[in-house]
Amino acid sequence: MSHHPASTLSGLCFAGGIYGFTKTRSLPSLIGGFAIGSLYALSAMRIKEGLDYGYETAAGTSALLLAVSAPRFRKATAPKILSGLGVLGGGYYGKQVYDFRQ
C-alpha cells in the first residue's frame, strides 16, 4: 500500500516534465521530470517488493524535488505544485523512515 504515493508522484513528475517541455520548450524541465519520476518509480518498486532503501529513496527524492522547485516558487504555478508535492512526499516518507527506524 505504501508504494502507491511514490507511484503517483512518479507519474505526476513525468507528466509535469512533459508539460513543462510542451509549454516552454524547456529541456531541463523534461530531463528533471523524467529523472525525479524515475527515482520515485525506483523507490515504489523497492517498497512494493520489500527491498531495502525504498522509503529512504522516496524521502530523498522528495527532498530533491523540494530543493529544485523551491527557488522558483514565486515565479509560476508549476514550482508551487512541485514544492507542495515535495513537502507532502517528504512528510509521508520521512515518517515511514522514522517509524521503521524506531
Contacts of 29 (CB under 8 A, 6+ apart): 16, 17, 19, 20, 21
Q: Give residue-wise pLDDT tens across range 76-87.
A: 888 899 999 999
CB 17 within 8 Å of CB 37: yes
Which pLDDT score is estimated for 11? 96
Look up residue 101 and give its three cell numbers.
527506524
Which pLDDT score is estimated for 76? 84
Percentage above 90 pLDDT, the chain: 80
Q: Give residue-wise pLDDT tens across range 3-34.
A: 999 999 999 999 999 998 999 999 999 999 99
* 34-38, 59-63, 80-84: the lowest-pLDDT one: 80-84
Look up residue 86 and give its three cell numbers.
515535495
Contacts of 59 (CB under 8 A, 6+ apart): 89, 90, 93, 94, 96, 97
